[in-house]
């Protein structure tokens, strides 16, 4: 295999941003210090930590004190639901939300419509039903990690409040695609992940209004919301990646890249189906079915041709089961099995997609030969 590979799995993890790499390298070169210590080294570490906090807060127009750093977006989701007595989560939510909900005494999985959007009538019915006393949370995946379908946080937050519940928004895939203030203004909490933005894996954040709640990981750090000494290298990179986001330019680049991608796909296979096409969609995440093809073989053939793509959530990679997201849309099993996710970044160019244009016909032939 010659030439550079084409990376079409940005929704699983973005390549490390140059600013994030520089911030991580600088943090590694600094004197070791614990940000909880009062000596000079500790103060330097604290300065780096708080710079990262200010930068991440800036993504959502939040105050730095609203930012609780975690080890991942999955941990942030689990922390948001920890201590709740009831959780209502859509069937298409990220596995980290659905699995965290399973640990809550009263968990309701909500169906979606054919476009993958939450059915408000079902949420209303669930909120009106008896539930245990205590904190109730509606857990909403804002931008779907497989299809890119976009939910509307404001009406869901209003409905939740009218029934004595709060809203948590998983904004991991929304960061860098949508204005996060739209969710943080109406939600009790919002989760983020560094490596989706071009930071390092091992860093996430829970943006939360108000004082401490029950902590998933006890400790005095992070205002008592998350114990443990923070990973300054990963958090410095997270802050730098957050500061580098220029939402308007990024969204425009993602929209142009997706339009080019769909032109390539449809010119090669007019039968290809874009899932959730009837829903509002965030730019850069496309779940596509290629009728008659084996999706697993298609991914292998593309990989051999130098193109990285996936089925969906990287947390589920290696688990060869039909997509829970696509099944929740009510799609027939053969169509689900023929689907893959192609996700793009702001540096994905139309010229780079020429590699997909060259490789896709042969890959589809191989995937349809079984």
**How far apart are alpha carbons 180 and 192 in whole angstroms?**
10
**Tokens (6 digits) for 339:** 């689907």
Task: Categorise residue 210: left if φ over 0, alpha if ψ from -120 to 50, beta otherwise.
Answer: left
* CA dihedral (216, 221, 225, 230) positive or negative: negative
How do beta strands 285-289 and 273-274 pair? Answer: antiparallel
User: CA 362, 368, 370 angle in degrees (round to 5)?
Assistant: 125
Q: Return phi, psi of residue 71, to 5°.
A: -90, -10
Please tell me which residue in 99, 159, 273, 315 is annotated as part of the active site: 315
- Nearest to residue 71, comparing CAs of 181, 221, 210? 221
For residue 172, give the DSSP letter.
T
- Catalytic status, residue 280: no
Tell me the H-state helices in the chain: 18-29, 40-60, 73-81, 95-101, 120-128, 153-162, 181-184, 232-243, 247-268, 295-304, 324-328, 333-337, 354-367
User: Which residues have a catalytic role annotated?
Assistant: 315
């Amino acid at each position: 295999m010659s030439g550079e590979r084409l990376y079409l799995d940005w929704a699983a993890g973005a390549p490390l941003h140059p600013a994030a790499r520089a911030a991580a390298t600088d943090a590694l070169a600094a004197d070791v210090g614990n940000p909880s210590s009062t000596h000079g080294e500790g103060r330097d570490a604290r300065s780096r930590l708080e710079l990262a906090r200010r930068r991440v807060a800036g993504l959502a127009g939040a105050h730095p004190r609203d930012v609780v750093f975690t080890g991942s977006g999955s941990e942030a989701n689990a922390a948001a639901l920890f201590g709740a007595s009831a959780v209502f989560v859509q069937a298409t939510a990220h596995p980290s939300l659905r699995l965290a909900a399973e640990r809550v005494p009263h968990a309701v999985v909500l169906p979606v419509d054919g476009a993958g959007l939450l059915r408000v009538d079902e949420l209303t019915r669930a909120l009106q039903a008896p539930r245990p006393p205590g904190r109730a949370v509606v857990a909403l995946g804002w931008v779907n990690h497989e299809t890119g379908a976009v939910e509307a946080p404001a009406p869901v937050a209003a409905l939740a409040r009218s029934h004595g519940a709060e809203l948590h928004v998983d904004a991991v895939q929304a960061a860098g695609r949508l204005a996060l203030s739209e969710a943080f203004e109406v939600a009790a909490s919002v989760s983020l992940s560094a490596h989706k933005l071009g930071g390092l894996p091992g860093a996430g954040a829970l943006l939360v209004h108000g004082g401490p709640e029950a902590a998933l990981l006890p400790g005095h750090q992070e205002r008592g919301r998350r114990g443990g000494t923070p990973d300054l290298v990963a958090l410095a990179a997270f802050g730098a990646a957050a500061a580098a986001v220029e939402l308007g330019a990024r969204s425009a680049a993602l929209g142009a890249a997706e339009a080019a991608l769909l032109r390539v796909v449809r010119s090669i296979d007019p039968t290809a189906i874009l899932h959730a096409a009837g829903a509002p969609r965030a730019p850069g995440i496309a779940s596509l079915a290629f009728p008659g093809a084996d999706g697993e073989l298609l991914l292998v053939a593309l990989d051999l041709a130098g193109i990285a793509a996936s089925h969906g959530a990287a947390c589920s990679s290696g688990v060869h089961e039909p997509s829970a997201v696509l099944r929740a849309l009510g799609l027939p099993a053969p169509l689900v099995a023929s689907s893959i996710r192609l996700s793009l970044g702001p540096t994905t160019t139309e010229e780079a997609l020429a590699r997909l244009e060259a490789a896709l016909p042969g890959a589809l032939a191989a995937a349809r030969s079984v």
